[in-house]
Amino acid sequence: MPAVQETVEQVRSIDVDQYKYGFFTDIESEKAAKGLTEETVRFISAKKDEPEWMLEWRLEAFRRWQTMREPDWARVNYPPIDYQELYYYAAPKKKDGPKSIDDIDPEILATYEKLGIPLRERDALLGIESGASRVAVDAVFDSVSVATTFKEELAKAGVIFMPISEAIREYPELVKKYLGSVVPVTDNFFATLNSAVFSDGSFVYVPKGVRCPMELSTYFRINERNTGQFERTLIIADEGAYVSYLEGCTAPMRDENQLHAAVVELVALADAEIKYSTVQNWYPGDSQGKGGIYNFVTKRGDCRGDRSKISWTQVETGSAITWKYPSCILRGDESRGEFYSIAISNGYQQVDSGTKMIHLGKNTTSRIISKGIAAGHSDNTYRGLVSAHRKATGARNFTNCDSLLIGDKCGAHTVPYIESKNSSAQFEHEATTSKISEDQLFYCQQRGLDPEEATALIVNGFVKDVLQQLPMEFAVEAQKLISVSLEGSVG
C-alpha cells in the first residue's frame, strides 16, 4: 500500500522522457580497438590474464560465430548491426587492480551511489543495524567487475561469489566443468558471440547443503559509447544448496543503440534451489524511439539433479529491444522450473520474451506466469515453449499469459508452443488480453485518483502475482519502476 503511494510520488517527480539513470560518468577508460577479429579475442583474454584453455575456448567460439547468422524469427525490427563498428572491451583505467573498495575510482563509486547501490560494506553494514536485509553486491562497469562486497563473510559459509574473470584463474576446475554446459558455445548467434568476447560477470558456487546466508546481486552498468556489454554469469548450486540472486541493469542515455548480449547459466544439482531475479532497466530510447539498448540475452537453467528447482523472476521495463527467454531444462526427476515475468513496453520499445520449459525427467513440473503490458507505440510479444520428452512421464505445466493494453497504438502478442511426446503429460495454458478500460479509469478518478495514479494502481494490480515472487526489497523497487515506465502513457 505505501509502495503504491511511493510509486505515485515517483511518477510525479519525473518528467516525461526523463530516464532517471541516463547520466554518464566521465572517467578515463581503456578500450580494445574497434571491431571484432581474432586479435580482439586474444586481447581480451590477455587483459584478463587467462589460461590457455580459456583462450582456446573463446577462439573456438569466435570461429563458430563467423559462420553463423543473426536470428530473425523474433517479432522485432531493427537496422542491421555492424559488428565491426563496436568496441568489445572497455575498462575504467587504473594503475593496479583495486585491492579494496578504497582503491576504486571515486567517480565509479559515485555512479553506483546515484543508482542507489551501496558498494561500501560499511554502508551496507549500517543498513543491517537499521533493519534492512543484507545483500552482497558485485558491480560490473562496462566490461569489468569493479567491486564485490561481503566476499569474506560469504567465504566463511563456503560460498564463492566473485567476478568470473577471477574465478577462471582461481577455480579453473569448477569453471571448466560448468561453463558452457547449459548454454553450449554453439547455442545461438548472440550466445556464441558472448562466448568469444565476454569480459566479466559474476560467478557463484554454493557448496553442498549450504543455504547462502544473504541475497547475492550484480549490478550491470554500460557507460562507454559504442561499447557492447557481454557479461557472463555462472551460478552453481551443489546438492541441497540454496541461493537467491538478483541482477539490475542501467545505462546512460545515448542517441545510438548499444548492444548487450549476455549469457547466464544456472546449474542446480540434486535437491538444490536457485532463485534468479532480474530488474532490467536499460535505457529504452527516447519517446521517438531514438537510441536505447538492444538486449539480446540467453539465460538458461539446468535442473540437473533430482528434486532440484530453478525459478526465474523478471521485471523488464528497459531496452529498446528485448530478446530474452530465460529457460529451464528439467532433467532431474521431480525437478521444478518456474518463470514469473512482467514485461512493460512503452514508447517505441519492442519486447519479444518468454521462456522454455523442457521436461526431460519424470514427474517434472513447471509454472509460467507472464504479464505483458504494452503502452505507447510499443510491441510486446510473449513467446514460450513447453515440451515433454518421451521419457518425461507425469510432466505437468501450468501457463498463464495475460496482456494488458494501454492506448490503441500498441500491440500485444502471445505465441505459445506446446509439444508433448509423452501421453501422460498434462499441460494447461491460459491466456487473456485486456485493456485498461475507460470505465476503470473513470471509477478510480471518481474516487480521487488522478489518471496517472489510477493507471499505476490498475497496472500494479495486474502484475501482483508476479511482484509477490520478488525478494521484498526489490519488489518495492520494481513497483516504482513500473509506474515510471508507464509515464506519459495516459492520454
- Cα–Cα distance between 282 and 253 in angstroms, integer? 9
Say if CB 343 and CB 351 are below 8 A apart: yes
Residue 9 or 70 having the CB closest to other proteins = 9
160 binds other proteins (CB under 8 A): no
Residue 13 backbone dihedrals phi, psi, to 5 degrees? -75, -10
Q: List the one residue from 449, 470, 482, 486 that touches other proteins (CB under 8 A).
A: 449
- Cα–Cα distance between 399 and 413 in angstroms, integer? 15
Residue 289 or 451 having the CB closest to other proteins = 451
DSSP letters along 108-148, please? HHHHHHHTT----HHHHHHHHHTTPPPEEEEEEETTEEEEE
For other proteins, the binding residues in 409-438 under the rule CB under 8 A are 437-438
Q: How far is the CB of 92 from other proteins (least distance, A)?
A: 43
Would you call 367 exposed, middle or buried from its count of C-beta atoms within 10 A (0-12, 13-18, 19+)?
A: middle
Question: Which of these ranges, 206-214, 344-352, 376-384, 440-448, lies near other proteins under the rule CB under 8 A?
Answer: 440-448
Would you call 26 exposed, middle or buried from its count of C-beta atoms within 10 A (0-12, 13-18, 19+)?
A: exposed
462 binds other proteins (CB under 8 A): yes
458 binds other proteins (CB under 8 A): yes
In a 13 Å sphere around the CA of 219, the CA atoms on its Cβ side amount to 26
Torsional class of 407: left (φ above 0), alpha (ψ -120 to 50), beta (otherwise): left
Q: List the one residue from 126, 256, 461, 472 that touches other proteins (CB under 8 A).
A: 461
Q: List the one residue from 32, 444, 475, 486 that touches other proteins (CB under 8 A).
A: 444
- Cα–Cα distance between 377 and 409 in angstroms, integer? 5
Residue 66 or 434 having the CB closest to other proteins = 434
Residue 149 or 479 having the CB closest to other proteins = 479
Question: Which of these ranges, 111-119, 192-200, 217-225, 451-459, lies near other proteins under the rule CB under 8 A?
Answer: 451-459
408 binds other proteins (CB under 8 A): no
Q: How far is the CB of 438 from other proteins (least distance, A)?
A: 8
- Cα–Cα distance between 208 and 456 in angstroms, integer? 43
As given in the structure block, the three cell numbers for residue 47 are: 587483459
Residue 78 or 442 having the CB closest to other proteins = 442
Say if CB 401 and CB 414 are below 8 A apart: yes
Q: List the one residue from 107, 239, 465, 473 that touches other proteins (CB under 8 A).
A: 465
For other proteins, the binding residues in 326-385 under the rule CB under 8 A are none
Q: What angle do CA 67, 69, 71 make, to 5 degrees?
A: 150
Find the farthest-apart pair of alpha carbons in the chain and give their distance in angstroms, rounded. 68
Q: List the one residue from 15, 28, 129, 439 that touches other proteins (CB under 8 A).
A: 439
4 binds other proteins (CB under 8 A): yes
Q: List the one residue from 34, 39, 445, 472 that touches other proteins (CB under 8 A).
A: 445
Residue 364 or 455 having the CB closest to other proteins = 455
Q: How far is the CB of 452 from other proteins (least distance, A)?
A: 10
440 binds other proteins (CB under 8 A): yes
Strands (DSSP E) found in 1-125: 29-31, 90-92
Question: Which of these ranges, 21-29, 322-330, 458-466, 477-485, lies near other proteins under the rule CB under 8 A?
Answer: 458-466
Q: How far is the CB of 458 from other proteins (least distance, A)?
A: 6
User: Where along the sequence are the contacts to other proteins (CB under 8 A)?
Assistant: 1, 4-5, 8, 437-440, 442-451, 453, 457-458, 460-465
